[in-house]
Structures are given as structure tokens and as C-alpha cells.
Chain A
Amino acid sequence: MANTTTEAAGAATEAAGHAAEAAGHAAKSAGMPQLDFATFPNQIFWLAVALVIIYLILSRVALPRIGGIIADRQGKITNDIAAAEELKAKAVEAEKVYQQALVDARGEAQRIVAEAQAEIQKDLDAATAKADAEISARTAESTRRIEEIRAGAARNVVEVATETAGAIVAALGGKADAKSVASAVAAKLKG
């Protein structure tokens, strides 16, 4: 029993040491390769070399370049957005101008229509006034003529009456003095 245990333990140590053996180490320094202190200076040296190289490559070449690319892209995007904003503002402006022009044109048209209407109204008014004036003038003329005719007729009536009265008086055998006849006629006509 003890013999087999010893054998097993020996085999275990041997197996554990196998890793180191493969690297050419003696079975005595069996263990994890991570704790093989003989390799530490080597690893640390090469790690330092690798880190310095990576640091120089990244900080001198790669990072400024990538940072530049990203900044460029950001700048381009910002510029493009700004340009788009500007174009949009321009479009809005253009539309405003167009709307303004439309409003102006409409106003102008209305103004022209109103003007034309006013002109027509004025002409119409003038024509009406002229026609009215003519009508009143003609009316006045006609009235005057009528008055004249009427006055003429009245005068004729007096003449005729006077003559007739004189004749009648004469015929009746009287002697008619013209003056009294006329006054009598006038009195008669008035009455």
C-alpha cells in the first residue's frame, strides 16, 4: 500500500515537473511557467521594447491621423449641415420674396382695378353732370321761350283788345279817345 502511494506521489511530481522538463529544465524547478523567474528579465525587456514601439507608433502616427480623420469628418458634417441650413434659409427667403411679389401683384391689380373704376366713375359722373347741365340749359331755354311766347301773346291780347275796344266804341258811335280805352282795357285785363 505504502509502496503504491509512494509510486503515485513520485509519478505526480514527475508529471508536474514534465512541463518544465519539456523546456529543458531540471525536474527540480518544476512549476508554472509563469513563475519561472529565469524568464522574467527577458519578458520584461521585450515587453518594454514592444510597449515603447506601440506607444511611438500610436502617439506619433496613428492617433493624430485618426483624430484628424474624425475631426475632418465632424467638420465636413458641420459644414454640410451649415450649408444645408443656408440653402434652406435661402429657399425660405425666396419663398417669402415670391409670396411678397404675389401679394404686391395682387395689390397692384386691385389698385389698377380700383383706379380704372374710379376713372370710369369720374367719366361717368362728368358725363352725367354734363348731360344734366345740358338738360337744365335746354329746359331753361324752353321755359324762356315759353315765357316769351306767353308774354308775346299777352301783349297781343292787350293790343287786340284795345283795338277791338276802340273799334267797338267807334262802331257804337262814340268817340273813343285812345288813352281811356287803353286804361279801360288794362283795368279790365287786370280785373
Chain B
Amino acid sequence: MATEAHGEGLTFHPMDQFIVKPLFRDVAPGTCVPADGITEGCLKWYEPTNATLWMGIAILCIIGLFVLGTRGRAIIPSRLQSIAELGYGFVHKMIEDVTGKDGLKFFPYVFTLFCFIVFSNFLGLIPGALTTTSHVAVTGILAVAVFLTVTIVGFVKNGVHFLELFWVKSAPLALRPVLALIELISYFVRPVSHSVRLAGNMMAGHAVIKVFAAFAPLILISGVGIAVTPLSILAIVAMYALEILVAFIQAYVFTILTCVYLRDALHPSH
């Protein structure tokens, strides 16, 4: 497979679309090999990259929808304003239902996460775009931020009682230490699963589309292409439709899990 992929035949580079590179320069080969201690060509932390570009576009979209779209403050909303209000109501209701009334002071925070993820996911579906949320660095920071928020809020709100989250009162006394250990581990695994779920979903779908896309030019190379090329294009369309669904559902899942974790912090006894 790999031999085929290389050379004059089909080229499979499903992961190339995730490469973060500087916007205004090319990294010369051999100038960034951290293993060998060569770092002069590497990305500087302040350099604008394609990730910066797509995050910036996401910010512009958010401004366009939530600031310019609601400019009219109309009682009878315009289309854009309806969408903005729909998003507001969606997240507002989610927090209220899952976390309760006292979770509403985290509404701007949760809404920021939701907006960033949903816009990044959808912008990533544009051909040629970089899906910023497919990077574990990005989702990891988001998840760690949620984890730290939950832990800090939990201890500030409940003090030592927050530890009751790990001490399952409804279980028999003998089982409680074991359960406490399991709960503790699952608590610390939360940011990992939280971030990897989002990044993995985004990466997987895009990589699969890319693999199917690599089969598409087969018609130019060999006779089998007459059958394979339409099939692969059909598969791309189907995957793309699924990805649109996934883009929203993953943003929803990330947000609702944030709400669930916040509920643990605010009411650890439940």
C-alpha cells in the first residue's frame, strides 16, 4: 500500500491537512529538528500560522453573527438575529437544564467554548481549511481549562465537601474506598477523554474524507478508476454530510459535558 502511495501513483496524505505552518514564510527543510537540537527554523510561539488565520476567521464569524447580526435589536428578528438568538437560547437552556439556575453565571464562559468549537468545526469543513479543533493542543487546552474551572469552583463553593464527590455514600462501606479510587481516576481522565473525543472526531472524519479523495484521481491512472472514482466521490459526499452532523454534535457534546462537570462542582452531592 505504502509503495503504491508513493511515487507516480496515488498519493495518500490524509494527515497533511492538519499541518500547522507559518503564514508568511516556508520552513526550510532541515531547519527544525528538535530531536537533533536544530530549532532555528521552528515555529516561534508568536508567529501567525494557518491556525491563527482560521481562529481569526472564526472570531470574525462570531462577531458577524452575534454582534452585527443583532445590531438592529429588533423585536421581530431578522434572519441573522434569529440564528444568534437560537444559539443563545440553546446554550442558555442547556446550562439551566443540566447545571441549574446557579450555573448561569458561567454562561458567557460556556458560550465562548461552544461558539469557538462550533465555528471552528464548521469552518474546518471548508476545503483547504485547517480544522483548529482537530489539534489535541487546542482541545487539550479547552478541556484543561474546563477541568481547572470545575475543580477550583468545586473547592471554592463547597470546600472540603467537594471531596464527597469521590466518596459514594449510597454504596456499602467496604466498597467505598475502591469506588473512591475509581472515581478519582475517572475524574482525572475527564480532561483526556474530553479533549481527545473532540480532536479525534474532527481528525477522523477529515482523514477519512482525505483517504477517499485520494482514490478519486484513479480514473486518470488505471481502468478500475471508472468504478472507483464515482464510488469515492459518493463516499466523500456521504462522509461530508456525516461530518456536518458531527461538527455540530461534537460541539454540543463538549458543551453539555462541560455543563455536567460544572454541575458536579456546584452540587457534588448529586
Show the binding face of A for B, using Cβ within 8 Å. 7-8, 11-12, 14-16, 18-26, 28-29, 32-51, 53-55, 57-59, 61-63, 65-70, 72-73, 76
Complex Cα spacing A23 to B30, Å: 10
Interface residues of B, CB < 8 Å — how many? Answer: 70
Given pairs A22-B13, A26-B32, A59-B108, 8 additional interface contacts (CB within 8 A): A25-B29, A26-B36, A36-B19, A48-B141, A50-B59, A66-B85, A69-B77, A72-B75
For the residues of A in contact with B, the DSSP-based class is helix
**Can you identify 13 A-B contacts, CB atoms within 8 angstroms?**
A21-B29, A24-B28, A24-B31, A36-B19, A38-B43, A43-B135, A45-B45, A46-B55, A47-B51, A47-B141, A62-B70, A63-B111, A66-B66
A45 contacts across to B, CB distance below 8 A: 45-46
* Residue of A43, A45, A68 with highest tally of chain B CB at under 10 A: A43
B55 contacts across to A, CB distance below 8 A: 46-47, 49-50
Is A55 within 8 A of B109, CB to CB?
A: yes
Given contacts A24-B29, A42-B44, contact A58 B19 (CB under 8 A): no
Complex Cα spacing A35 to B116, Å: 22
Least CB separation from B12: chain A residue: A15
Is B73 within 8 A of A69, CB to CB?
A: yes
Is B85 within 8 A of A50, CB to CB?
A: no
A42 contacts across to B, CB distance below 8 A: 20, 43-47, 49, 51
Complex Cα spacing A47 to B113, Å: 11
Q: Residues 1-28 of chain B: 1 if any A CB is under 8 Å from the residue's CB, otherwise 0?
A: 0110110000011011011110000111
Complex Cα spacing A20 to B49, Å: 16
B73 contacts across to A, CB distance below 8 A: 65, 68-69, 72
Q: Determine if B123 is an interface residue (Cβ-Cβ < 8 Å).
A: no
